[in-house]
Amino acid sequence: MSISGSQLTRLGERLRAGPLIEADLRMLDEYRRSFGPASERVLATLRETMDVPVTVRGAKSTQAIVEKLRRQSCRLGQIQDIAGCRLVVGDLQAQESAVSRISAAFLHVQLHDRRRVPSHSYRAVHLVVKVLERWVEIQVRTELQHLWASLSEMLADIFGNEVKYGGGPTPVQKVLHNTAEGIAAMEDRDLRLFKLASAEPPLPDLTDFLCRPSDTLTTQEQEFLERYRMLENRRAAWKAQLDQRFIEAQLKRQELKLLLEGLAAELKQFRPR
C-alpha cells in the first residue's frame, strides 16, 4: 500500500501525540521498510566510488522514529535518517576527501557538517542523498570521531538514551564533552599540519646548473647558487621540524585512541545485555 504525503503527515502527528495503536505502528513499519531499495542503491554507489568499507545499518526502528518525532518539531516525512550507512576514515584530511567524492557521486545532496556545529558534542559529517524519492543518510566519521560516538552509545545504554542529547548525569556529560573537545583540538592541529606540508612551493629544478663545474660559473651565478643552497638548507630544516610535529601528533592521537578504547572496555561490564 502506498502512503500519500498527507497520510504520512497525519500518521506522524498521531505518533507524536500518542497513545500508540497497532494500525499506526504497522503503517510506520511499512513506511520505514520502503527505504530498502534506496538504501541498497546508495550502498552500491558507495562501494563503487569509495576505497574504504561501508557499514550498513538497518532502517531506523519504529521506536526510534517515534522518539525523534516527540523530541523534535518535525514532520514524519522530514526525517532524513530513517535509512543510512557509515564510512570511517583515518583523519580529517581523508574525511574531506571522502565528503567531496560522495558529493560528486549523487545528484541530490544535503551536507550537514557537525564538526563546525557539534550536536551535543557529537562531531562528524552527514550527507543526505535523495535516491528513488527517498532520503538516505551517509555518515562520514574519522576514527576518533567514531570511537567517541561508540562511547556515547555505551553510556546511553547504561544511563539512558537522553545522554546522547545533552541529558543524563552531569559527570557523564563532562566526560563526553571533554573527550570531544580533545578530539576536535587534535584533529584541527592535524589538518593545519597537512596544509603546512602542502603549502611550501617546490624548489626549481636546477640539475644542469648544479652539475656545472664551479669555475665555469660567473660571479652572479655563484651568488645565485649560494642563495639557492641557503634556501635548500632552510627548507630541509623546516621539513625536519614538520616531520617531528607529525610524529608528535601521531603519538597524541594514539594516546587519545587508547584512552577512548580503555573507557569503552571498562563500560562494557556495565552495559545491559
Residue 39, pLDDT > 90, answer yes
Q: pLDDT value at position 146?
A: 93
Q: pLDDT value at position 273?
A: 57
Name which of 7, 6, 46, 28 is nearest 131 in CA terms. Answer: 46
Residue 76, pLDDT > 60, answer yes
pTM over 0.85: no
138 or 2, which is more confident? 138
* H/E run at residue 214: none
6 or 245, which is more confident? 6
57 or 118, which is more confident? 118
Phi, psi dihedrals of residue 56, rounded to the nearest 5°: -100, 135
Average pLDDT, the chain: 85
Taking the C-alpha atoms of residue 139 and residue 156, their distance in angstroms, rounded to an integer, is 19
Q: pLDDT value at position 200?
A: 63
Residue 261, pLDDT > 90, answer no
DSSP states along 64-125: HHHHHHHHS---GGG---SEEEEEEESSHHHHHHHHHHHHHH-SSEEEEETTTS-BTTB--E
Please report where in the chains the cell 532520503 appears, as a residue.
135
Taking the C-alpha atoms of residue 110 and residue 130, their distance in angstroms, rounded to an integer, is 9
Q: pLDDT value at position 88?
A: 95
Residue 214, pLDDT > 80, answer no
DSSP-derived secondary structure letter, 60: P
Taking the C-alpha atoms of residue 191 and residue 245, their distance in angstroms, rounded to an integer, is 12
C-alpha cell at 68: 525523534
Q: pLDDT value at position 132?
A: 92
Residue 51, pLDDT > 80, answer yes
Asked, as a colleague might, if the bond just before 53 is cis with ω within 30 of 0, I would say no
Name which of 207, 199, 211 is nearest 235 in CA terms. Answer: 199
209 or 24, which is more confident? 24
Report percent pLDDT > 90 for the chain: 38
Name which of 74, 80, 70, 63 is nearest 28 in CA terms. Answer: 63
Name which of 70, 75, 86, 172 is nearest 121 in CA terms. Answer: 172
SS3 assignment, position 198: helix
Alpha helices in the chain (DSSP H): 5-17, 22-33, 36-49, 62-71, 92-105, 143-159, 170-199, 207-211, 219-268
Q: pLDDT value at position 207?
A: 57
Tens of pLDDT, residues 86-100: 999 988 889 999 999
Tens of pLDDT, residues 141-181: 999 999 999 999 889 888 888 998 889 889 899 999 999 99
Cα of first residue to Cα of last residue in the chain, in angstroms, is: 37
Q: Would you place residue 23 in the very low, low, confident or very high pLDDT band (cuts 50, 70, 90)?
A: very high
Tens of pLDDT, residues 97-117: 999 999 999 999 999 999 988
Q: pLDDT value at position 147?
A: 93
Taking the C-alpha atoms of residue 68 and residue 66, their distance in angstroms, rounded to an integer, is 5
Q: How far is CA 177 from CA 14, 45, 169, 241, in A?
A: 35, 35, 13, 32
Q: How far is CA 99 from CA 47, 50, 96, 114, 149, in A?
A: 14, 10, 5, 13, 19
